[in-house]
Amino acid sequence: MLLEIKNLRVSVHGKKIIKGLNLKVNAGEVHAIMGPNGTGKSTLAAVIAGREIFEVNDGEIIYKGKDLFDLSIEERAREGIFLGFQYPVEIPGVSMTNFMKTAIDEIRKYRGLPALSAGDFLKMMEEKKKLVEIQSNLTSRSVNQGFSGGEKKRNEIFQMAMLEPTLAILDETDSGLDIDALKIVANGVNKLRRPDNATIVITHYQRLLDYIVPDFVHVLYEGRIVKSGGKELALELEEKGYDWIKNELDA
């Protein structure tokens, strides 16, 4: 088991957002978490990544046999957790190259790997850029500064490719993308798929799942997973709308 979330309860500023959530993810799997706005999808992603404003009230997250809450934000990343941000942060003055070089140096050091030479690093950058069809000048610019919405999302997948995570959580990676950009992003994610890693795709719409085909689909509603199934569940949701879930729950 790569990730196991047991009875997770999370609040922010006293407001309960996640109310007893359970999820198991194995290596090699792609999970999609769907649900209406405001049900805790992004909160779940942020809590796994280690965002500090959330308060974990109960439950646990076991990742690779370790208690995730014992690890700092950066330790989680070095252990292979990657969060693709819904709103990637603009950081003026920090170049993509310096950013990635610093990250990879630290991750490799943590894992006891020898440092990459500048030449090898640049070669790696070139290779991974192709994966998401990034124009070469993007990497010499400041992190996300002045990037279009599509460029920002492609940049997230580029970083994912560079860091080769074991567990990637993509938070609304499809939001704000036109169909061409969506295809590029999905294609990048698919190419990074391996038997020893897993991906959790958080999305509001079914559209992305035409391109990133999930093994499991979960519906998150009011802080809990209320329905799980195969990829056909996403299609059913698309067809019947989230009211279908609400009605079913109310019944």
Partner 1 sequence: MTPDQGSNSRIMKKQPRIRPLKENMAKLHRQFAEEICRYDSPYLKELRDSALSTFMEKGFPSHELEAWRNTSLDEALEREYLFDFDVQQEKADINRIFRCEIHNFETFLFTQLNGWYIYENAPLTELPNGVIAGSLREAMKRHPQLFAEHYGRYADTGKNGLVALNTAFAMDGIFIMVPDNTELEKPIQWVNIVNAGEPMFLQPRHLVILGKNSKLTLVHCDDSIQKENTFINAVTEVFTGEGSTLDFYKLQNKDAGSNLVNSLFIHQEGGSRVQTNTITLNGGLIRNDVHSTIGGSQCETLLNGLYLVDRKQHVDNQVFVDHLKPENTSSQLYKGIVDDEADAVFNGHIHVAKDAQKTEAYQTNRNILLSENARVTTKPFLEIYADDVKCSHGATVGQLDPEALFYLRSRGICERNARMLLMYAFAAEVVGKINIDILRDRIDQMVQKRLKGELSICDQCVLHCKDERDIVFEIDMSKIPS
Contact residues toward partner 1 (CB under 8 A) are: 49-52, 72-74, 76-78, 82-83, 85, 88-89, 91-95, 97-107, 110, 118, 121-122, 136-137, 140, 142-143, 159, 163
**Tokens 């404003």 belong to which residue?**
53
**Could you give the C-alpha distances from 197 to 9, 122, 133, 165, 246, in angstroms and in order?**
26, 25, 23, 7, 33
- Give the count of alpha carbons within 13 A of 107, CB side only: 21
Residue number with CB closer to partner 1 (31 or 152): 152
Q: Which is nearer to partner 1, 108 or 231 (CB)?
A: 108
Smallest gap from residue 100 Cβ to partner 1 (A):
8
Smaller CB separation from partner 1, 17 or 143: 143
* Nearest to partner 1 of 197, 206 (CB atom): 197
For residues 32 and 83, which CB has a smaller minimum distance to partner 1 in the complex? 83
CB 142, CB 152: distance < 8 Å: no
Residue 137 neighbours by CB under 8 Å, 6+ apart:
none
62, HSE (Cβ side, Cα atoms, 13 Å): 9
Least Å distance between CB 230 and partner 1? 31
- Work out how close the CB of 10 gets to partner 1 at its nearest, in angstroms, rounded to a whole number: 16
Please say which residue, 143 or 184, places its beta carbon nearer to partner 1: 143
SS3 call for 97: helix
Cα–Cα distance for residue pair 91/226, rounded to 1 Å: 38
CA distance 88 to 23: 26
* Shortest reach from residue 171's CB to partner 1, in Å: 11
C-alpha distances (whole Å) from 77 to each of 166, 193, 223, 225 are: 10, 18, 25, 25
Minimum separation from the CB atom of position 44 to partner 1 (A): 15
CB of 125 to partner 1, least distance (A): 9
Provide the terminal-to-terminal Cα distance of the chain, rounded to the nearest Å. 34
